[in-house]
Chains A and B, each alone.
Chain A
Amino acid sequence: MLEAALHFAMIFRSFSGSLRGPAGSGPRRPVLDKVELPPIEKLAALARLELDPGEKERLGTQLTKILAYFEKLSEVNTEGVEASPYAVALKNRFREDCPADPEDGMLRGQDLVEQNAPEKEDGYYVVPPVMGGEEA
């Protein structure tokens, strides 16, 4: 849990801090214009993806091309248009906070959950050191 929390905290910090739009454009840009793709290494680090040199080159070129195509959206006047995160209007749904019915299968699967763990000890997941980088 702690690892996961740290993981997301790091991603969040990276998003809010280190990767800003082009200088001078300000954080809120109403329309698209020519956008330079940040270095592929930066994006790969944010996405926690190790890329080999061939992938870096191919993906960098392709992403630039794809983004250029996305600029087509700047033709559309969206002033006063509301955003639709979902196609249908969804409301938050609450459910009762109570133990699951043992018959619905969610509790039966606990052994399988454990079997899926790549490394475990006494019912805990084992991961390499969170900091330091010593050989595992």
Chain B
Amino acid sequence: MKLHQLSAKEMRAKAVSGEVSPSELVDSCLEAIGRQNDLLGALISVDAEGAKARAKDLEAARARGETPGPLFGVPVGLKDNLCLEGQPMTCGSNILKGYRASYTATAVKGLLDAGAIPIGRCNMDEFAFGSSTEHSAYGPTKNPWDLERIPGGSSGGSAAAVAARMLPLTLGTDTGGSIRQPAALCGIAGLKPTYGRVSRFGLTAFGSSLDQIGPLAHRVSDLGLALQAMAGRDPKDPGTLDNAAFEAGDQAPSRLEGLKVGLPKEYLDDRVAPSILARIEAAQKTLEALGATLVPLSLPHTQYAIPAYYLVATSEASSNLARFDGVRYGNRQKAKDLEDLYLETRGKGFGEEAKRRILLGVFCLSAGYYDAYYLKALKVRTLLRQDFEKAFAEVDVIIGPTTPFPPFRLGESEADPMQLYLCDLLTAPANLAGIPGLSLPCGFDEDGLPVGLQILGPALGDETILRVAEAFENATDFHSKLPTEAVQ
């Protein structure tokens, strides 16, 4: 197996034992990126020199006798909405062309402190608005399993880079499913932690009450390692929880005796493609064979999650994106006066999906409509959260599909944005409720496209869902299958 195909944990072990150097790991990933990225469009920019220099620094520190961190020598990719001092950050938008971050996000600093090596910026839907990574000013990302199809989004670049084994580990962000959905469609694992577990400081805000940073990897244990490096109370993000810190367990359980697994009927009805339902049924049997007990249950407000989510998310987004006005940074347009500067900079800088969401948010928050839309959505959010609270009084985890349908073909959803919004049907409820969720591969449909199993846990139940996921991974071999020859 080539070095760039190893997991983060395996890379780290080889680097610590001295079998390979961090420089060799970086070179191997750079070679894979050079060979595949033109085809896939997973990375917007690559900092080869910076990565090589950091590898040398880590080697020197090791030679001085410093203890290697839990991600020592591991090359990583960062979604292009996360700040790393001195590096470009575009958020997939024209409006931030040429912008360089003046500080480092707390989550990214966590990875750096653990010994990781940032190597490139992962493509994304502009400002994380989308579920397909087609809405990027830097071109679409393609699905490594079928180059005619979308990789999912908005962290599509982060998912495709891992699926094609350019990198073992990347960071994404999840506001309504933007880590779990692309992970599912690209056949890898992705974790959205509990809201408040990972600091959002240095993340370009989309929906502040929903956003969480999380890892994507091809092995579940790497998700735990990354979460451990990032989680914790951060004075710079008042939304972080006092008990946010996380410690990754050593060994996954081989059996799941005593575990109660909830099966919500609303996640398994005819809104979900039959090819996906079949894989989820098989996954249920696997969990049962591992000793878990399946418990049918209901999350009655699921059908209202999409309208509630889009009302909350676009309202928060329209407010958060007011800061992009061309005054202090970004791609300023020429204008005759200040008002015109705002109009031109924003009109030319934002893409159409961003404009759609800003307009929707401005409408929902405006006087006379606020109560009927925004406030109503916040009340429905309470009901959705209570659905989960009742369910988790009975079960330890909830499972279901991550996505209702397999990946679209590129361009297929362009005419009808509603179609794309429905992709978030099964992922957005976790963001509204603030609970952790992950997706991992559970098989392939008849076209050979990957299917994702979603595992949800109660607030701060991140460890539980990671352990269940790892046990499932150990009992199956879906994670070891690689996409088409063309992209290895």
- A44, B304: Cβ atoms closer than 8 Å: no
**Does A99 touch B at the CB level, under 8 Å?**
no
A133 to B341, CA, bound (A): 11
Knowing A27-B368, A49-B350, A51-B347 are in contact, say whether A115-B100 is a contact too (CB < 8 A): yes
Decide yes or no: A119 and B432 within 8 Å by CB, A76-B380, A105-B104, A125-B327 being known contacts: no
Q: Could you tell me the distance between the alpha carbons of A54 and B304 in the complex, rounded to whole angstroms?
A: 32
Kindly report which residue of chain A lies nearest to residue B324, judged by CB atoms.
A48
Q: CB-nearest residue of chain B relative to A48? A: B342
Residues of A contacting B35 with CB < 8 Å?
A: none
Taking A46-B366, A73-B376, A81-B383 as contacts, is the C-beta distance between A128 and B337 under 8 angstroms? yes
Is A127's beta carbon under 8 Å from chain B? yes
Cα distance, A108 to B334, chains bound together (Å): 30
Within 228-252 of B, Cβ neighbours of A (below 8 Å) are at 235, 238-239, 241
Contact A49 B359 (CB under 8 A): yes
Partner of B434, one of A67, A88, A93: A88
Q: What does the 1/0 interface line of B322-362 toward A look like (CB < 8 Å)?
A: 10011111111011111111111011101010011011101
Number of residues on chain B facing chain A (CB within 8 A): 84
Taking the nearest CB of chain B, how far is it from the CB of A83, in angstroms?
Answer: 4
User: Bound complex: CA of A46 vs CA of B343, how far in Å?
Assistant: 10
Q: Is the CB of A48 within 8 A of B367?
A: no
Known contacts being A38-B363, A48-B325, is A118 close to B100, with CB within 8 Å?
no
Known: A62-B356, A109-B103. A3 touches B338 (CB 8 A): yes
Interface positions, chain B 195-215, Cβ under 8 Å from A, are: 195-196, 209
Q: Is B476 part of the contact surface with A, judged by Cβ < 8 Å?
A: no
Q: Bin chain A's interface residue count.
A: 35 or more
The answer to the question of B253 belonging to the interface, with a C-beta cut-off of 8 Å to chain A, is: no
B219 within 8 A of A: no
List the B side residues contacting A129 at CB < 8 Å. 336-338
- The interface bits of chain A over 48-59 (1 if a CB of B lies within 8 angstroms of the residue's CB, else 0) are 111100010011
User: A26 — nearest CB in chain B belongs to which residue?
Assistant: B368
- Whole-angstrom CA separation of A47 from B104 in the bound complex: 30
CB-CB under 8 A for A63 and B363, given A87-B433, A95-B235, A116-B328? yes
> Provided the pairs A87-B195, A112-B102, A128-B336 are in contact, do residues A50 and B304 lie with their beta carbons within 8 angstroms?
no
> Does A90 touch B at the CB level, under 8 Å?
yes
Which DSSP category, helix, strand, loop or mixed, fits chain A's interface?
loop
Which of chain B's residues have a CB closer than 8 A to the CB of A51? 347, 355
Q: Which residues in B have their C-beta under 8 angstroms from that of A55? A: 352, 355
Tell me the bound Cα distance from A134 to B335 in angstroms. 9
Q: A8 to nearest B CB, angstroms?
A: 8
- Bound CA span A46–B359, Å: 9
A9 proximity list for chain B (CB < 8 A): none
Q: Are B355 and A7 in contact (CB under 8 A)?
A: no
B32 close to A (CB within 8 Å): no
Q: Which of B280-316 contact A (CB under 8 A)?
A: 301, 303-304, 306-308, 310-311
**Contact between A66 and B417, CB atoms less than 8 A apart:** yes
Inside 8 A of A28's CB, which chain B residues have their CB?
Answer: 371
A66:B418 contact, CB within 8 angstroms = yes
Query: What's the minimum C-beta distance from A36 to chain B, rounded to whole angstroms?
Result: 11
Contact of A113 among B102, B209, B359, B418 (CB under 8 A): B102
Give 13 CB contacts A-B under 8 Å: A19-B368, A27-B367, A31-B372, A38-B363, A76-B376, A76-B379, A76-B380, A82-B379, A118-B332, A127-B338, A127-B341, A134-B337, A136-B334
Residue numbers of B with Cβ under 8 A of A are: 85-86, 99-104, 109, 195-196, 209, 235, 238-239, 241, 301, 303-304, 306-308, 310-311, 318, 322, 325-332, 334-344, 346-348, 350, 352, 355-356, 358-360, 362-363, 365-369, 371-373, 375-383, 385, 417-418, 421, 431-435, 459
Q: Besides the contacts A15-B367, A76-B301, A106-B103, what 7 more A-B pairs have beta carbons closer than 8 Å?
A: A7-B322, A15-B366, A72-B304, A90-B238, A105-B104, A118-B331, A131-B337
